[in-house]
């Protein structure tokens, strides 16, 4: 089983004004943000920066010019501007606005017929993209959650009062669990939950991660999660189809919950009792027969042996632990799939 720290990382990095109290509150924030935002398309020849005097103690400030209109730049659009120019952001941050303006004048690409997609909110540039980028509104994602995750809710508030629901200028993130989906297994209990995320400015992909877990602490670490499955999609031309995928994944989790409220206890209990073999040799044969490589099987058997016997559940747990050591996300997903596949050997 795994301990998932994605929601905990959000808990510690989100500003207080990014926290939402409920999905309804989250949807309203996304709605306001969407209403204030718009796209404009400009030729690369028509964009530049200037150092503008601001009436404050700050002195000159870098301003982004698109056509004849001026905008402020936030941290994300500034990062994109630096990448477009091929200059390290830290380097530009050390320059005065006047010097930075001269640097951008020399380095911003001017050639090419394809326009740039300038995404603004009021007088601030939220992002700068080429023609390949397709936006998916955070509001659309939140509305899917409100419609299809009706039995799910945020976990208990974190130690700092955060709920697990966040909307910021760069992205959104939602941590949801089903408080009525618990299934008692001996002294343990499992319930379904998921994380989902999106970015309107290209900061991160659209994605969802589903799991069954045993506990959530005040740091929003998800403890002893099993059957962890992750799906992501980049913001390209087919991104809107991703909403159907998220919808389908949540619906699948709900269906599995309903099926398992009765069957999950029976399945796991038997998996904890049934041996994959009377000894390591027999268990090795069964593992390799079910697509587990010998090297990986030997590692799993060693972990399972420390727990006393080669039950199906002990080997599923061992393989899940080993998957966390995989650097490549695709390898982790493949290993988790093979581990979960062993549960099909349980005779119920």
Task: Quick: pLDDT tens for 324-342.
Answer: 787 776 777 777 778 877 8
**How confident is the model at residue 16, as a pLDDT?**
94
Q: In the numeric block, which tokens belong to residue 50?
A: 């200037």
Q: How far apart are CA 257 and CA 253, in angstroms?
A: 6
Phi first, then psi: give them for residue 136, nearest 5 degrees.
-125, 120
pTM of the model: 0.72
**How confident is the model at residue 188, as a pLDDT?**
63
Write out pLDDT tens, residues 130-149.
999 999 999 999 999 999 99
Residue found under tokens 């999106």:
198
Write out pLDDT tens, residues 83-137.
999 999 999 989 888 899 999 999 988 877 789 999 999 999 999 999 999 999 9
Looking at the DSSP bridge assignments, the partners of residue 47 are 66
Chain-centre distance of CA 51, in angstroms?
37
Q: Is the dihedral of CA 14, 15, 21, 24 positive or negative?
A: negative
Write out pLDDT tens, residues 173-191.
999 999 887 765 555 668 8
Report whether pLDDT(53) > 70. Answer: no
Model confidence at 57, pLDDT cuts 50, 70, 90, reads very low
Q: Where are the domains of the chain?
A: 2-34+136-261, 44-112, 274-345
Model confidence at 281, pLDDT cuts 50, 70, 90, reads confident
Q: SS3 for the chain, per residue? A: CEEECHHHHHHHHCCHHHECCCHHHHHHHHHHHHHCEEEEEECHHHEEEEEEECCCCCCEEEEEEECCEEEEECHHHHHHHHHHHCCCHHHHHCCCHHHHHHHHHHHCCCCCCCCEEEEEECCEEEEEECCCCCCCCHHHHHHHHHHHCCCCECCCCCCCCCCCEEECCCCEEEEEECCCCCEEECCEEEEEEEEEEECCCCCCCEEEEEEEECEECCCCCEEEEEEEEEEEECCCCCCCHHHHHHHHHHHHHHHHHHHHHHHHHHHHHHHHHCECCCCHHHHHHHHHHCCCCHHHHHHHHHHHHHCCCCEHHHHHHHHHHHHCCCCCHHHHHHHHHHHHHHHHHCCC
**How confident is the model at residue 322, as a pLDDT?**
86
| 100-139 burial: b if 16+ Cβ within 10 Å, else e | bbebbeeebeeeeeebbbbbbbeebbbbbbeeebebbbbb
Phi first, then psi: give them for residue 73, nearest 5 degrees.
-120, 135
**How confident is the model at residue 143, as a pLDDT?**
96
> Pairing mode, if any, of strands 124-129 and 69-73?
parallel
What's the whole-number mean pLDDT along residues 342-348?
75
Q: Evaluate whether 127 touches 153 at the Cβ level (below 8 Å).
A: no
Q: In the numeric block, which tokens belong to residue 85?
A: 């120019």
Chain-wide mean pLDDT for the chain?
87
Enumerate residues 6+ apart whose C-beta is below 8 A from 310. Answer: 275, 276, 277, 278, 279, 280, 282, 283, 301, 304
**How confident is the model at residue 280, as a pLDDT?**
86
**How confident is the model at residue 264, as a pLDDT?**
65
Q: How far apart are CA 186 and CA 162, in angstroms?
A: 32
Compute the CA torsion angle 91, 94, 99, 100 (nearest 10 deg).
50
């Amino acid at each position: 089983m795994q301990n998932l720290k994605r929601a905990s990382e959000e808990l510690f990095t989100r500003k207080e004004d990014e926290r939402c109290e409920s999905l309804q509150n989250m949807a309203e924030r996304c709605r306001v943000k969407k209403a204030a935002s718009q796209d404009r398309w400009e030729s690369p020849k028509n964009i530049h920066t200037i150092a503008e005097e601001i009436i404050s103690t700050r002195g000159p400030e870098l301003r982004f010019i698109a056509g004849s209109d001026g905008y402020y730049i936030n941290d994300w659009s500034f990062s994109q501007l630096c990448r477009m120019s091929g200059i390290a952001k830290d380097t530009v941050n050390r320059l005065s606005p006047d010097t930075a303006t001269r640097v951008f004048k020399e380095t911003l690409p001017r050639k090419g017929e394809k326009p740039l997609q300038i995404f603004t909110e009021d007088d601030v540039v939220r992002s700068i993209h080429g023609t390949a980028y397709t936006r998916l509104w955070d509001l659309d994602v939140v509305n899917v959650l409100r419609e299809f995750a009706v039995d799910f809710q945020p976990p208990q508030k974190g130690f700092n009062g955060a709920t697990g629901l966040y909307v910021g200028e760069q992205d959104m993130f939602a941590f949801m669990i089903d408080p009525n989906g618990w299934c008692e297994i001996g002294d343990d209990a499992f319930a379904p939950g998921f994380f989902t995320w999106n970015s309107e400015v290209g900061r991160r992909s659209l994605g969802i991660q589903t799991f069954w877990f045993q506990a959530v602490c005040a740091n929003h670490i998800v403890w002893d999660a099993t059957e962890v499955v992750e799906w992501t999609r980049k913001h390209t031309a087919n991104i809107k189809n991703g909403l159907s995928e998220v919808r389908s994944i949540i619906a699948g989790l709900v269906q599995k919950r309903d099926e398992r409220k009765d069957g999950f206890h029976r399945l796991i209990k038997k998996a904890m009792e049934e041996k994959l073999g009377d000894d390591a040799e027999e268990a090795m044969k069964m593992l390799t027969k079910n697509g587990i490589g010998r090297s990986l099987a030997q590692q799993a058997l060693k972990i399972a042996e420390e727990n006393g016997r080669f039950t199906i559940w002990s080997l599923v747990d061992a393989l899940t632990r080993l998957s966390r050591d995989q650097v490549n996300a695709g390898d982790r997903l493949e290993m988790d799939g093979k581990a979960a596949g062993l549960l099909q050997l349980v005779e119920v």
